Amino acid sequence: MEERRWQEQKEFEERKWREELELKKNEQKYRESTAVKVKTWGDALRNVICKMPNESIEVVSWFMSVEKLFDRLKVPEELQAVLVRPYLSERAKILMSKCDPAHTATYQAIKKFLLQELHSSSSVYLDKFNSLARDKDETFGQFSTRLVSLFEYYVESRKIDHSYERLVDLVVYDRIKSQLTPFLARHVLALEAAHKDGWLGRLGLVEAVDAYMANTQNDGKPRMPIPLAQFRSSVNYANGKRVPDVPKPPTGKVM
């Protein structure tokens, strides 16, 4: 009798233990479900992330601040695309609705697509890199990380492709461009717009600028050829030789 009661008690405790274990497993699965994760991280981001600005030049800084928050809060990479969508500007949301969902499945894909569609050009990245200032509440380490990210955006937009030689060319290229007069800068911009890479390369730049300078005056106006009539009015030719004009005597009456 006692042995039977002991056996029943043992079975009851084992059954209770299995039920508790199953309950814990279900709770763990629930906590690990995507919906719960999105809600948890969404609540964490709600009071610290701002809406995407409308100005294209500010969108780069916005993405950088978002990535800084993701890194600080350790947001899982697979959730970043879903979490960033509510904070996109209305224009960005419209662009996203017209895009193939397969091309915007990840945060990096969304960022790349929007930066292209919002016309964040290479010059925008460079200007932002040169004008970026350190925030009062960030360390120099964090500031350097933002600078590196912005410079990487710029280098990627110039299609450097991890080439040291092309990177050197780009740095020198930008240094030369910073010295161009306004009319030369406009000429180079027109050439860049027609180039497949968006920039001419160092040698292409200096050749284009030198050729342009050779055919323009200091103010950027084209050099005007001296009319042929002007030559004929001031120079006589005899037997193929240049002969200066001889003043003709007056034909009027002498008073």
pLDDT tens sequence across 94-151:
988 888 887 788 998 898 888 878 766 788 788 888 888 888 888 898 888 888 878 8
Within 13 Å of residue 3, how many CA atoms lie on the same side as its CB?
Answer: 0
Mean pLDDT for 203-208 is 93
pLDDT tens sequence across 148-161:
878 888 888 888 88
- Dihedral through CA 6, CA 9, CA 15, CA 18, nearest 10? -80
Which residues are 243's β-sheet partners?
A: 236
pLDDT at 228: 44
Alpha-carbon gap, residue 96 to 116, rounded angstroms: 12
Which residues are 236's β-sheet partners?
A: 243
pLDDT at 224: 57
The answer, yes or no, to whether residue 245 has pLDDT greater than 60, is no
Could you tell me the residue ranges of all domains in the chain? 2-32, 33-157, 160-238
pLDDT at 167: 93
Q: Greater confidence, 224 or 86?
A: 86
pLDDT tens sequence across 64-90:
889 888 888 888 888 988 899 999 999
**Per the confidence metrics, is the pTM higher than 0.85?**
no
